[in-house]
Structure 1
Amino acid sequence: MKNQTISRADVLRDFSVELDTGKDTLLRYLTEFPEYAEELVDLSRELAREVDDDMPLTATDVLSVESAMERFRTGLTQQIVQVNISPQRFSAAAKLLNLPKQVFIAFGGRRVDLASIPLHFLNSLAESLQVTTVQLRNFLTQPPQAPASRSYKAEVKPTVPTRTSFEKILRDAQVSEERIQEIIKGDE
């Protein structure tokens, strides 16, 4: 696992769901992610703390739980809000990332299979589109769209486009094989 591609929140979440969060696991995480050492130790202590389930919650505990639940509910409704990314942003991203506009037309139409996009490229694309990676993921998981111009020019009823692998889209856009490998491997 490359620690450059995993966020602090992901590291802490991964550590918290380990079956054994004991000394050996903690040492492994500290070795692999030294930049999160303080947070990992704090989380380890919190997870190791004994909790008496028989004791009733105090008024402060109840308020704390209610506050956390409210923040959770608010967070859920904020995540549901879909982000619309304009074609102009995709055009600007094409220039920034030095790729043909055809590739970004596929992204704008949500015709790229999200699972086939390398995380480092997804992060770069989100940054160039001025959205978060989560917002970009949410955008790309919406149903694919056919370009509006196709419906007027077609002699037959247009079909719903299917998702295509990122690598195939790059090849179809006649991106050089060398450049494709740079993008896939993250050697940009």
Structure 2
Amino acid sequence: MAENSPTIREDVLGAFAMEFESGTGVLERYLSQYPEYSLQLVDLSRELSREIDEDRPLSADELATVNTRMRRLQKRVATLQSLLTAPAKIFTDAVKASALPIQAGLALRERRVEVSTIPVRILETLAEELQASVAVLSSYLALPPHVSQLRANKSSIKPTAAEKVSFERILREAGLDEATLSKQLNND
């Protein structure tokens, strides 16, 4: 998974901004964990440390930026817990919007897909459809696989959780032709 994705960068910088307090070592911790974002982290820490004149009203551009980012934050309301309890339909709707087969939605819901094999573009689209951040979706998918209760109830033999497999394998098993498979797996 590409670490320099704009969505992942936004998640890292957003988390940093929420935690930041000057002189507490937060900057150093983030710099060591996310060296690829060092310039953005340092710039953001300077911005957060800057003295501001609270009596000066925001400009129209500043207000528009704040409103845009607030809408984006409000849209991403899914948490790890809410994904854990979400019905399968939420995942199947997300994959439909991403032009993926329904089997992929079920595999994602059951966490049978190795997250590192999912192209960043698809991960970002799924996260947006699920109203989650890429970090929350990745954390969810990294959890051990589980068997859905519906599938367990339909089976006369108690099914066991499958091992994680590659995203490509899920798409192949769903019957995608080579051209569509190549298009889906292309990370551009």
Q: Shorter-chain TM-score: what band?
A: 0.5 to 0.7
Does structure 2 retain, via aligned residues, the 8 Å contact 1:82–1:138? no
Are the aligned partners of 2:171 and 2:181 in contact in 1 as well (CA < 8 Å)? yes
TM-score, structure 1 as length reference? 0.58
**Residues 166 and 85 of structure 1: CA distance in aligned 2, closer, same or farther (over 3 Å):** same
CA distance in 2, matches of 1:3, 1:151: 37
2:91/2:109 contact within 8 Å kept: yes
Which sections of structure 2, spanning at least 5 residues, go unmatched?
17-26, 48-78
Cα shift at 1:81 = 4.8
Cα distance, 1:124 vs structure 2: 1.0
Aligned to 2:164, what secondary structure does the other structure show?
Answer: coil
Partner of 1:169: 170
Distance 1:7 1:178, change over 3 A: same
Cα distance change on mapping 1:152 and 1:37 into 2, 3 Å: closer
Q: Does 1:137 align with 2:138?
A: yes
Structure ID, larger Rg: 1
Q: Secondary structure of 1:178's match?
A: helix
Q: Deviations over 1:142-161 (max 9, x none)?
A: 22121323333434332222
Q: Does 1:16 align with 2:31?
A: yes
Q: Given the two structures, how large is their TM-score scaled by the length of structure 2?
A: 0.58
Residue in structure 1 matched with residue 21 of structure 2 by the alignment: none
User: Does the CA contact (< 8 Å) of 2:94 and 2:129 recur in 1?
Assistant: yes
- RCO comparison, higher one (Cα < 8 Å, 6+): 2
In the TM superposition, what are the counterparts of 1:107-146 in structure 2 within 5 Å? 107-146=108-147
Shift of 1:9: 6.5
RMSD: 3.7
Matches within 5 A, 1:56-71: none
Letter in 2 for 1:16: L
Q: CA deviation at 1:108?
A: 0.7
- What amino acid is the match of 2:174? A
Alignment match, 1:7: 9
SS at match of 1:17: helix
Partner residue in 1 for 2:99: 98
Q: Give the Å deviation of 1:184.
A: 1.9
Equivalent residue letter for 2:43 = E
Q: Give the Cα separation in 2 of the matches to 1:110 and 1:173.
A: 16
Q: Is contact 1:122-1:133 (8 Å) kept?
A: yes
**1:39 is aligned to 2:43:** yes
**Distance in 2 (alpha carbons) for counterparts of 1:117 and 1:143:** 16
Alignment deviations for residues 37-79 of structure 1 (CA, whole Å, 9 cap, x no partner)? 9817949xxxxxxxxxxxxxxxxxxxxxxxxxxxxxxxxxxx8
- Is the 1:82–1:135 contact (alpha carbons within 8 Å) kept by the matching residues of 2? no
Identity in percent: 29
